[in-house]
Structure 1
Amino acid sequence: MADRDKDSSAESRRILDRIAREADSSGSSLVSRTVKRARDHVSAADVDEKDWVDHLGTRIGRVLGLVICVGLLAWLVMFLVRGA
């Protein structure tokens, strides 16, 4: 019974420490981390650099998806403004 309490207490401390690190305001802000993740995603930073075809195809696909998404959002805004 005491081992289970120790394990539970240790796990709780680990969770609280991780939350404190993630919520630390002295580091980079949420916006800058999100922008960095988006930039890395679109530029295919997670793809193997040695396979240039996979790298190039991933970049083209992700940029094309981003352009289509922005275009659809612009169309939706224009549609709502004009129609309402």
Structure 2
Amino acid sequence: MKDDETVRQAKRALDRLGEEGGLSATPVMKSAASSVRDHFAARDADGDDKIEIWGTRIARGLALVAFAGLLMWMIGQVWR
């Protein structure tokens, strides 16, 4: 009985936060996606130097490929 009341109170608190905009996943997800997109597009590189921009993009892309390969290798080691 006490657990049911606790659950109801938690749901009310979450609903109240959601209405106030404090617990909305959509802006957080948009912000994270925007941040990742800007990172891989090399928005932080010098905009005047095209070689630096493309070098940064290539390096970050290769790092992502290397990470994916390492992750697959590690999962393969666990499944053996």
Pair in the same fold by TM > 0.5: yes
Q: TM-score normalised to the size of structure 1?
A: 0.59
Q: Structure 2: 5+ residue runs without aligned partners?
A: 1-19
Q: TM-score normalised to the size of structure 2?
A: 0.62
Q: Structure 1: 5+ residue runs without aligned partners?
A: 1-19
SS at 1:48's partner residue?
A: coil
Structure 1 match to 2:33: 35
CA distance in 2, matches of 1:49, 1:24: 36
Aligned length in residues: 61
Equivalences for 1:2-81 in 2 at 5 Å? 23=22, 25=24, 28=27, 30-81=28-79
Alignment RMSD, CA only? 2.3
Identity across matched positions, percent: 34
Find runs of 4+ consecutive structure 1 residues off by over 3 angstroms: none
